Amino acid sequence: VTMGEDKKIHLKRELGYFWGTSFIIINIIGAGIFVSPKGVLEHSAMNVGISLCIWAACAVLSLTFSLCSAEIGITFPYSGAQYCFIKRCYGPLVAFLRLWTNLFTGAGIVASQALLLAEYSIQPFFPSCSVPKLPMKCMALAMLWVVGILNCRGVKEATWLQAVSTMIKVSILSLISLSGMFMLVRGKAENVGRLQNAFDAEVPAVYQIVEAVFQGYFAFSGGGCLTNVAGELKKPRVTIPKCLFTAFPVVTVLYLLVNISYMTVLTPREILSSDAVAITWTDRVIPQLTWFIPFAISASLFSNLLTNVLQTSRMLYIAGQQDQLPLLFKTLNIHSSPLICVLLNIIMGSIAIVVTNLIELINYLYFVISIWTVLSMIGLLKLRYQEPNLHRHFKVLTPFILITMAINLSMVLIPLVKSPKMHYIYVLLFLFSGLLFYIPLTYFKLKLVWFEKLTCYLQLFFNVCIPDKSNEQI
């Protein structure tokens, strides 16, 4: 008996334009714009005008990277496209090292987001002191496993939650923006005065501007997220560019207006001395809503946590499909979700939450992510030279590739030059430690009898199977 297409088990292309746009908005808007937008202002030598210009410039720079990622997702339109692209450019060994890095950085970032989410969720119950570690870790673990269960239920199950989260984020930022605009229009001298002489402060040095750009660039990061779920998008060649050109203007306008609102109400020194600028702003403008801001930050982080687990699991799944991971990783459950991949990510994230010292490594692992971004940009140029006839429905301008490469190369070199530490050597050694697994298990295809028996048992226990062949696969 042939099953209907809707009953086949495979990653289904059922996500459209609205879902893709909200996915990008959720990924870009994290807790940073609520908590600490002061980094750009501080490195701009408290020059309000220049700091706003840097925010606008960072939006353009982040869009260039997102467009480069879009070319990868459109040329290789399936989930985990970054992994497939690296494998196509550099071969299976480099692709495995990319996967190895992603396995740990993904789990570490998920753990740090869960801890931050738990901190903001519990903070209102401890108004006069810091949050105790034990309740915070328990809450983080609970949140992480809730996110894992939602991901195991399939993408559609989480769509409504994503829509609600997007509405909350945009509504809170719109409230802050419109309140700031109202104060400017009302024309109160102290509010207007702060922006009238926006460029009067000292001009920052070039190295300070570079630091400020890095701060803003991180606030806009996440725009290339659709590349990881391209295999579940309807008509990815059309949907990805449309989503990017909708989400980025919305986020850019919101970020600029929110910063203008902060600077209308607070002096630069007040912004720099605040641990959570949005809460300080609310205390000054709408004190009745001060309790609501931690909730908004929590909702923001919960959706980021959900999408990060989704993305990381897709890369593990496609690696399983390419036979670089054990058979279990190429299986799906009845909801067409890579349950084993999600489970591995959640377990590793849970370990990182319990052993908090691992979270400190994330700062160092970010520079490894920049290395992979540089390699991806080189790969785009390499494929254009080696495979000029490869069918590309979308081709980003070469200067965009070079700009993205320059920014990420700076993120690798500046920390090494500015504060050289042995930690960077350890991180590189960790990167190459993936060879210890690649050589025996993938290159020589070493078979372990006990592991094959365990695989059969786990397939039955989790009720997962190898997916049906899909017409959407390439």
**Any idea what the CATH number is for the domain that residue 441 is in?**
1.20.1740.10
Output the pLDDT for position 35: 65
Output the pLDDT for position 189: 59
What Cα–Cα distance (Å) separates residue 106 from each residue in 25, 294, 307, 313, 429?
19, 25, 11, 9, 18
Which of 42-51, 122-131, 212-221, 251-260 comes out lowest in average pLDDT?
A: 122-131
Is 70 exceeded by the pLDDT of residue 192?
no
pLDDT band for position 117 (cuts 50, 70, 90): confident
Cβ atoms of residues 227 and 69 within 8 Å: yes
Output the pLDDT for position 78: 81
Output the pLDDT for position 345: 93
Q: What is the count of structural domains for the chain?
A: 1
Q: Which range, 8-12, 98-102, 278-282, has the best average confidence (pLDDT)?
A: 98-102
Output the pLDDT for position 3: 43
**Does residue 8 sit within a domain?**
no
The chain-wide mean pLDDT, for the chain, equals 83
Beta-ladder partners of 233: 15
Region 120-132 average pLDDT: 76
**Does residue 233 sit within a domain?**
yes
**Does residue 367 sit within a domain?**
yes
Task: Determine the Cα–Cα distance for residues 79 and 285; give it in Å rounded to an integer.
Answer: 45
Q: Which domain holds residue 26?
A: 17-465
Measured over the CA atoms of residue 65, residue 472, residue 106 and residue 375, the dihedral's sign is negative
Is 60 exceeded by the pLDDT of residue 341?
yes
- Residues with Cβ within 8 Å of 458's Cβ and at least 6 positions away in sequence, in order, are 328, 340, 464
Output the pLDDT for position 1: 34
pLDDT band for position 326 (cuts 50, 70, 90): confident
Between 197 and 61, name the one with better pLDDT: 61
Question: Angle at Cα 344 formed by Cα 341 and Cα 349, nearest 5°?
Answer: 125
Output the pLDDT for position 169: 84
Of 341, 348, 343, 344, which Cα lies nearest the Cα of 317?
Answer: 341
Region 109-130 average pLDDT: 80
Is 60 exceeded by the pLDDT of residue 56?
yes
pLDDT band for position 232 (cuts 50, 70, 90): confident
Task: Determine the Cα–Cα distance for residues 196 and 457; give it in Å rounded to an integer.
Answer: 69
Output the pLDDT for position 468: 66
Half-sphere exposure of residue 454: CA atoms within 13 angstroms, side-chain side: 7
pLDDT band for position 236 (cuts 50, 70, 90): confident
How many whole angstroms from its chain centre is CA 111?
A: 13
Task: Determine the Cα–Cα distance for residues 235 and 450; give it in Å rounded to an integer.
Answer: 43
Question: Angle at Cα 146 formed by Cα 134 and Cα 142, nearest 5°?
Answer: 10
pLDDT band for position 472 (cuts 50, 70, 90): very low
**Does residue 3 sit within a domain?**
no
Percent of all residues in the chain with a pLDDT value above 70, rounded to a whole number: 90
Task: Determine the Cα–Cα distance for residues 146 and 161; give it in Å rounded to an integer.
Answer: 12
Output the pLDDT for position 364: 64
pLDDT band for position 378 (cuts 50, 70, 90): very high
pLDDT in tens, 396-439: 999 999 999 998 888 788 777 777 777 777 778 888 888 998 98
**Does residue 76 sit within a domain?**
yes
Tokens of 16: 């459209």
**Does residue 108 sit within a domain?**
yes
**Does residue 384 sit within a domain?**
yes
Cβ atoms of residues 108 and 358 within 8 Å: yes
**Does residue 472 sit within a domain?**
no
Q: What's the pTM value of the predicted model, to 2 decimals?
A: 0.86
